Amino acid sequence: MPHPYFLMSLLYLSLVALAALASLLTGLEVIPLFGSLKWLRVHLITLGAFSEILFGLAPALAASVSGLPRPKIRWDIWMTQNAGLVLLLIGIPSYTRSLIFVGGTLIFVAGVLLIQQLIDLRPDQAAQNTRGTQGRIFYITGVS
């Protein structure tokens, strides 16, 4: 079964393609101009696609660096992140502050949960090596 983070990343990248098409049609004056279409495309790429890839890869990479088995998908993190992204992607073009605030807060909570998951991937003190510690700190810093 494909990884759900990567499936969502593909979804957001396909939405970027649709937004680019809408931008092209707006430039050709086929459809009216949407005020925040440019920022919506930026957020689809950065928050949508890149964060999905980061959230999907970080636990697996941190576990492999620490010599631990690949962790299971944390569905609470996945749901929180994607609910926040959907609210943001609805709130940005409609300029709805409450949706933007709630969506951003949910994404922040998902980031905190991911950081906690990465912290929990620490190997036992006896088996802990500096390479695993440095890798985990690198990924926690990246999410922050």
pLDDT digit string, tens, across residues 75-130? 999 999 999 998 988 887 777 899 999 999 999 999 999 999 988 887 665 455 55
Distance, in Å, from the CA atom of 80 to the CA atom of 87, rounded to the nearest integer, reads 11
pLDDT digit string, tens, across residues 7-65? 888 888 888 787 777 777 777 776 666 555 667 777 778 788 888 888 988 998 888 88
Is the CB of residue 8 less than 8 Å from the CB of residue 52?
A: yes
Indicate the helix (H) or strand (E) that contains 81.
helix 75-94
Q: Is 107 exposed, middle or buried (0-12, 13-18, 19+ CB in 10 A)?
A: buried
Q: Is 40 exposed, middle or buried (0-12, 13-18, 19+ CB in 10 A)?
A: buried
pTM: 0.71
Q: Is 12 exposed, middle or buried (0-12, 13-18, 19+ CB in 10 A)?
A: buried
Q: Look at phi and psi of residue 95 and say left if phi exceeds 0, alpha if psi is from -120 to 50, else beta.
A: left
* pLDDT surpassing 60 at residue 131: no
Segments making up each domain of the chain, as ranges: 4-143
Rounded to 5 degrees, what angle do the CA atoms 50, 37, 108 make? 40
pLDDT in the model for residue 32: 63
pLDDT in the model for residue 130: 52
